[in-house]
Amino acid sequence: MFKNKNHAGSLLVPLLEDLHLQNPLVIGIPRGGVEVASPIARRIQAPLYVIIPRKIGAPFNPEYAVGAVAPDGTVSYDENLLNYLSLTPRDMEKIIEKEKQEIAKRTELYGKWGTLPDLKNYTVVLVDDGIATGYTVKAALSSLRKQTTNPIILAVPVLPEDLIPSFESLVDRLIYLHAPFDFRAVGQFYEDFSEISHEAVLNILEETNNTLI
């Protein structure tokens, strides 16, 4: 059990320090991923930014995710699930457009930390508080891979054991602390999994990046 997301991030720090990354840039997925990412960015002396993917809900039930979309419009679907539900990407266009509008609002909220710099100059470390279905992380990774050929590291405290191979194939290095076979939800591995406000995330971004000045 992790005490909270900050604690989980501090436990990931030694594993990332061992990689001796060249010119790292840490990117957190709000909101929980930014809490995990902050101690990492502070310790390895890397700028901290955000990327905001959004889950794509099925037309008949917005809570039933079938994929995710990244800020640049990159979409990651569960193709098998779409086929099972007799859905096509065209069926999802209006939903995707709505989610892109929400991404734009949140990106603006995070100010300069919501717009990524030129990633060709960095080794990217993408951080989230854990992986369940993996839709949002996959969309984020696809988007980041379009922006750089440099190494991309994915660091998460916990993910299901059966998802390890698929994520290892998407990144140059997968870093994790726990990968149970009986995974049910990310929150089951945290004593405190409460969600913080967008304003609190912005404060973390500003405070973390101010330590680099």
Question: Is 41's pLDDT higher than 90?
Answer: yes
Cα(86)–Cα(67) distance, rounded to whole angstroms?
15
pTM: 0.95
Question: Is 21's pLDDT higher than 70?
Answer: yes
Region 92-117 average pLDDT: 94
Question: Which of 169-204 are b and which e, b meaning 16 or more Cβ less than 10 Å from the residue's Cβ?
Answer: ebbebbbbbbbeeebeebeebbeebeeeeeeebbeb
Rounded to 10 deg, the angle between the 198-210 and 32-44 helix axes is: 0
Task: Return the SS3 of 153.
Answer: strand
Give pLDDT, residue 1.
87
- Name 203's Cβ contacts closer than 8 Å, sequence gap at least 6: none
Rounded to 10 deg, the angle between the 5-17 and 32-44 helix axes is: 40
Question: Is 186's pLDDT higher than 90?
Answer: yes
Domain map (residue ranges) of the chain: 54-107
- Contacts of range 206-211, beta carbons closer than 8 Å, 24 or more positions apart: 206/113, 207/38, 208/38, 208/41, 208/42, 208/48, 209/41, 209/47, 209/48, 209/113, 211/42
Q: How far, CA to CA in Å, does 135 sit from each of 78, 102, 200, 207?
A: 8, 17, 25, 29
Cα(112)–Cα(125) distance, rounded to whole angstroms?
18
Determine the longest span between alpha carbons in the chain, in angstroms. 52
Question: Is 201's pLDDT higher than 90?
Answer: yes
Region 37-61 average pLDDT: 96
Among 85-89, 151-155, 205-209, where is mean pLDDT lowest?
85-89
Give pLDDT, residue 212.
84
Region 180-200 average pLDDT: 95
Q: What is the DSSP letter of 45?
A: T
CB–CB of 100/17 below 8 Å?
no
- Domain 54-107 CATH class label: alpha beta
Band of residue 213 on the pLDDT scale cut at 50, 70, 90: low
